[in-house]
Chains A and B, each alone.
Chain A
Amino acid sequence: MPTLDQVPIGCKGVISSIKGEDAIAQRLMEMGVIESEPFELVASAPMGDPLEIKVQGYRLSIRKSEAARVTVQVF
């Protein structure tokens, strides 16, 4: 399954899992990036990083390094 940093812009899908067991993984989940939550990759900043995603009905800026921990299922 692809990770969030590998899918194209405009892509919609659901979040499958978050890799890692550290505080970063926990913070991602607190912000609503959790299993089976729908998401949309809205845009990327001028040099391709960070990404802008829509999740839980709001927009979140997330760096590619953190996005690489999020595996997604694309519709």
Chain B
Amino acid sequence: MHEITPPLKSFRIALLGNPNTGKTTLFNVLTGLNHRVGNYPGVTVEIKKGSFVHQSSVIEILDIPGTYSLAPRSPDELLSVELVLGLNPLEKVPDALLVIADASNLERNLYLATQAFETGLPVILALSMVDLATAGGVQINFKALSEKLGIPVVPIHASKRKGVDELKNAIVSLQTEKCMPPVPLFLPEVINNREKILGLLGDKGSLFLAGRLLFETDGFLAQQLERKLALSLAPAILEGRKALESVGINLVSIEAKSRYSWIRELVQPCIRKPENKVTGFTDRVDRILTHKVLGMFFFFLIMFLMFTALFVLAKPLMEWIGEGKNFVGQGLESLLPEGMFRSLLVDGLLEGVGGVVVFLPQIVILFGFLSILEDCGYMARAAFLMDRVMAKCGLSGKSFIPLLSSVACAVPGVLATRVIEDKRDRLATILVAPLMSCSARLPVYVLFIGAFLTEGYGWWFPGFVLFLMYGIGFITAPIAAMLFKSTILKGKGAPFLMELPVYKMPSFTVVFARIYEASLSFLKRAGTLIAATMVLIWAVLYFPYVSSTGENYPELIAATENKEQQDALLLDWKKNSFLGRVGRSIEPVVKPLGWDWRIGVATLASFPAREVVVGTLGIVFGLGKDTQDEQQLLEILQKAHWNDDPDQPLLFKVPSALSLMVFFALCCQCGSTLMVIRQETGTWLWPAFTFVYMTSLAYLAALLTFQVGMLFL
């Protein structure tokens, strides 16, 4: 018999803090990369869980999203409150709270701490940015603060690992010695009425919750709690509010006023501030970076550098991945006998996985840039500068960078919307981001502009058309956002109040962790599904591989050495495949766009990933798969006749080439984007909606382009 070891009892803490306090750095330093993302239905926030072992105690940490207040006004914010108070059925009540506060801005940061003090849980206070406070002439007596509060106060510098061990010690000793924080003072009337509501809440209650119910103006929390805890709270809340109003208490402002004045009294003896404020580094830098003219100049310079890096640095890496994919493909082809299994492996699975991995360099580079900009404090300035423009389409400045990122690729663009706190703004941004012309559309534009809009036009014309194609996204996306915000995503949003944090050196741990997380979650979640979709498309292009007259295409192709014959057989096979049949049957649908069935098939096949269209066009226009040459394809397209019948007119005229480009500009032909939207919104509804609206929009716009074009051109 083995000796039974008692299970290690873990100590659970929830980590709370304002945004820009270094909370993420602290979480990463405490847990290493040893964390995972919790899944909670119905919310879009990501809540991370991690753990560490210190002095043979297992400490679990729940990372609550950064917030200025625990007052919940949306389902996302409610989840944070539920987790802190142990009201969520999926998580146990935390044993203690760890609150991180920015020492250079202590009063406002302590606001959240005062709410944590009312939860009835032991609290530890970690103070970050002590060096910044000191540089600004602010001196804090940590010992005095700790004594006044009756809880451990630990100054930390997480990225330099200063104070981290002390913090871990404090957390471990909390297991035996519960340090209860003081309860902030309110007027006696408030306290009395709060007690009454607390009585109704029973064992789920806390002073914080009772207070919130009394103070909240919109009744959101009360509704949620009545439903979730099956309680009747409304009459008591109404009575309490009336009682307070009758003695002249302003219910809107009483909470903020009481907390701030309590904080001021508490902090004053522990903190020394300089009488004459020195002009800090941030003030000097901001004079340039938020300047009306210079600020815009630096903004566009930074954006330009970011995109140059995205295109220039990512390109060789993407080509390298492509070559690696081809190398593996050739290796498999030489190792395996020709047949269905090899085709599945090479043309289906490898293409599918390769098609996902190829986005990785862009994600890494973009997220590298974004997290540096965010961590150093510039991101808030960018949102500040662009807010006015974005407000015109119902969004805020925070939507600008995700939309701009989508010009490179909508996948990182959608991931970048995580900085947008307002749920409706974020969703609207996600829904319109795929309208921006991404780098995968470029080959289509280049091919068709080269084939039909270059010869016989001025030297400037091709560039101008390319500019117009990008312009389609830049104009449609804001209009669509405006439409969504005034219809399906209508509602009173949160006010756009944004802290402009002090500038600081970006932390390597934060930048690295963000790149790592974004890449990993993309590969894991989008990767598996997109690979599966690619296999599906492979299958509908492969089956049936025997024609109705009994010809076995793979065998026939293998039997002949004649290249032309091989290509002809390949075309016949694709025409006969399930996708080919569907393509031919939908010809009436694509004909009004000026397309024949071959373009229909190529377009259908490129729905999982639009970048395959050039390759698919090669196949359906009778160009063998292995001899893909854009110049050759360009000439074939120029000379192609309708339905490959020499008696018919030429397939492509300027209007049909334009209609195809417009279709590609507006259509959502990207499985990866849809999967990422699924991942970020937590439901299939939004990717389905994106797919339907974009495809309809693309079809209508292409129809209009062709029909109007035929009148004039």
Contact assessment for A30 and B68 in the assembled complex, using a CB-CB cutoff below 8 Å: yes
Evaluate whether A57 and B108 lie within 8 angstroms (CB atoms) in the complex, with A21-B252, A23-B218, A30-B256 already known. yes
The distance in angstroms between the C-alpha atoms of A30 and B73, with both chains bound, is 13
Indicate if B384 sits at the interface (CB-CB under 8 A).
Answer: yes
How near does chain A come to B137, taking the closest CB pair, in angstroms? 12
Q: Which residue of A lies closest to B112 (CB)?
A: A30
Question: B383-408: which have CB < 8 Å to A?
Answer: 383-385, 387-389, 391, 397
Residues 1-42 of chain A: 1 if any B CB is under 8 Å from the residue's CB, otherwise 0? 000000000000000001011111111111110110100001
Residues of A within 8 A of B247 (CB): none
**Pick from B71, B216, B217, B498: contact of A61, CB under 8 Å:** B498
Contact assessment for B500 and A59 in the assembled complex, using a CB-CB cutoff below 8 Å: yes
Residues of B within 8 A of A43 (CB): 286, 290-291
Evaluate whether A50 and B387 lie within 8 angstroms (CB atoms) in the complex, with A57-B105, A58-B108 already known. yes
The distance in angstroms between the C-alpha atoms of A49 and B388, with both chains bound, is 6
Report the number of A-B residue pairs with Cβ-Cβ less than 8 Å: 130
Evaluate whether A57 and B107 lie within 8 angstroms (CB atoms) in the complex, with A23-B217, A46-B295 already known. yes
Indicate if B496 sits at the interface (CB-CB under 8 A).
Answer: yes
How near does chain A come to B510, taking the closest CB pair, in angstroms? 20
Contact assessment for A61 and B500 in the assembled complex, using a CB-CB cutoff below 8 Å: yes
Q: Which residue of A lies closest to B387 (CB)?
A: A50
Residues 278-307 of chain B: 1 if any A CB is under 8 Å from the residue's CB, otherwise 0? 000010001000111101100000000000
How near does chain A come to B222, taking the closest CB pair, in angstroms? 13
Residues of A within 8 A of B217 (CB): 21-23, 25-26
Residues 303-323 of chain B: 1 if any A CB is under 8 Å from the residue's CB, otherwise 0? 000000000000000000000
Indicate if B499 sits at the interface (CB-CB under 8 A).
Answer: yes
Contact assessment for A45 and B105 in the assembled complex, using a CB-CB cutoff below 8 Å: no
The distance in angstroms between the C-alpha atoms of A42 and B215, with both chains bound, is 32
Residues of B within 8 A of A42 (CB): 286
How near does chain B come to A73, taking the closest CB pair, in angstroms? 17
How near does chain B come to A29, taking the closest CB pair, in angstroms? 4
Residues of B within 8 A of A35 (CB): 253, 257
Contact assessment for B290 and A56 in the assembled complex, using a CB-CB cutoff below 8 Å: no
Evaluate whether A27 and B388 lie within 8 angstroms (CB atoms) in the complex, with A21-B217, A58-B105, A61-B500 already known. no
Indicate if B69 sits at the interface (CB-CB under 8 A).
Answer: yes
The distance in angstroms between the C-alpha atoms of A60 and B381, with both chains bound, is 11
Indicate if B710 sits at the interface (CB-CB under 8 A).
Answer: no
With a 10 A CB-CB cut-off, give which of B73, B111, B253, B292 has the most chain A CB atoms: B253
With a 10 A CB-CB cut-off, give which of B104, B217, B296, B501 has the most chain A CB atoms: B217
Residues of A within 8 A of B216 (CB): 23, 26
Contact assessment for B384 and A45 in the assembled complex, using a CB-CB cutoff below 8 Å: yes
Residues 54-71 of chain A: 1 if any B CB is under 8 Å from the residue's CB, otherwise 0? 001111111100100000
Q: How extensive is the interface on chain B, given as a class?
A: 35 or more
Question: B92-108: which have CB < 8 Å to A?
Answer: 104-105, 107-108
Contact assessment for A56 and B391 in the assembled complex, using a CB-CB cutoff below 8 Å: no
Indicate if B497 sits at the interface (CB-CB under 8 A).
Answer: yes
Contact assessment for A66 and B500 in the assembled complex, using a CB-CB cutoff below 8 Å: no
The distance in angstroms between the C-alpha atoms of A20 and B286, with both chains bound, is 32
Indicate if B494 sits at the interface (CB-CB under 8 A).
Answer: yes
**Pick from A22, A28, A34, A52: contact of B384, CB under 8 Å:** A52
**Pick from A21, A26, A30, A57: contact of B111, CB under 8 Å:** A30
Q: Which residue of A lies closest to B290 (CB)?
A: A43
Question: B425-475: which have CB < 8 Å to A?
Answer: none
With a 10 A CB-CB cut-off, give which of A21, A34, A63 has the most chain B CB atoms: A63
Contact assessment for B218 and A22 in the assembled complex, using a CB-CB cutoff below 8 Å: yes
Evaluate whether A48 and B105 lie within 8 angstroms (CB atoms) in the complex, with A32-B111, A66-B495 already known. no
Residues of B within 8 A of A37 (CB): 260
Contact assessment for B495 and A32 in the assembled complex, using a CB-CB cutoff below 8 Å: no
Q: Which residue of B lies closest to A48 (CB)?
A: B388
Contact assessment for A46 and B296 in the assembled complex, using a CB-CB cutoff below 8 Å: yes
Indicate if B380 sits at the interface (CB-CB under 8 A).
Answer: yes
Evaluate whether A50 and B256 lie within 8 angstroms (CB atoms) in the complex, with A32-B111, A56-B105 already known. no
Residues 50-85 of chain B: 1 if any A CB is under 8 Å from the residue's CB, otherwise 0? 000000000000000000110101000000000000
The distance in angstroms between the C-alpha atoms of A26 and B217, with both chains bound, is 8
Q: Which residue of A lies closest to B106 (CB)?
A: A57
How near does chain A come to B195, taking the closest CB pair, in angstroms? 22
Evaluate whether A56 and B388 lie within 8 angstroms (CB atoms) in the complex, with A18-B253, A28-B495 already known. no
Evaluate whether A46 and B385 lie within 8 angstroms (CB atoms) in the complex, with A22-B217, A26-B71 already known. yes
Residues of B within 8 A of A18 (CB): 252-253
Question: B475-501: which have CB < 8 Å to A?
Answer: 494-501
Q: Which residue of A lies closest to B494 (CB)?
A: A27
The distance in angstroms between the C-alpha atoms of A57 and B278, with both chains bound, is 12
How near does chain A come to B258, taking the closest CB pair, in angstroms? 10
The distance in angstroms between the C-alpha atoms of A48 and B387, with both chains bound, is 10
Residues of A within 8 A of B107 (CB): 32, 56-57
How near does chain B come to A56, taking the closest CB pair, in angstroms? 5
Give 18 CB contacts A-B under 8 Å: A21-B252, A26-B71, A27-B497, A30-B68, A30-B111, A31-B499, A35-B253, A46-B293, A46-B385, A48-B388, A50-B384, A50-B397, A58-B501, A60-B498, A61-B380, A61-B383, A62-B497, A66-B495
- B residues adjacent to A (C-beta < 8 A): 68-69, 71, 73, 104-105, 107-108, 111, 215-218, 251-253, 255-257, 260, 282, 286, 290-293, 295-296, 380, 383-385, 387-389, 391, 397, 494-501
- Which 5 pairs across A and B sit closest by C-beta, in order of nearness? A29-B256, A59-B500, A47-B388, A30-B69, A61-B498
Besides the known contacts A60-B498, A62-B495, A63-B391, 15 further A-B residue pairs in the complex with CB atoms under 8 A apart: A21-B252, A23-B73, A25-B217, A27-B69, A29-B256, A30-B256, A45-B388, A46-B295, A46-B296, A56-B105, A57-B108, A58-B499, A59-B500, A61-B498, A61-B500
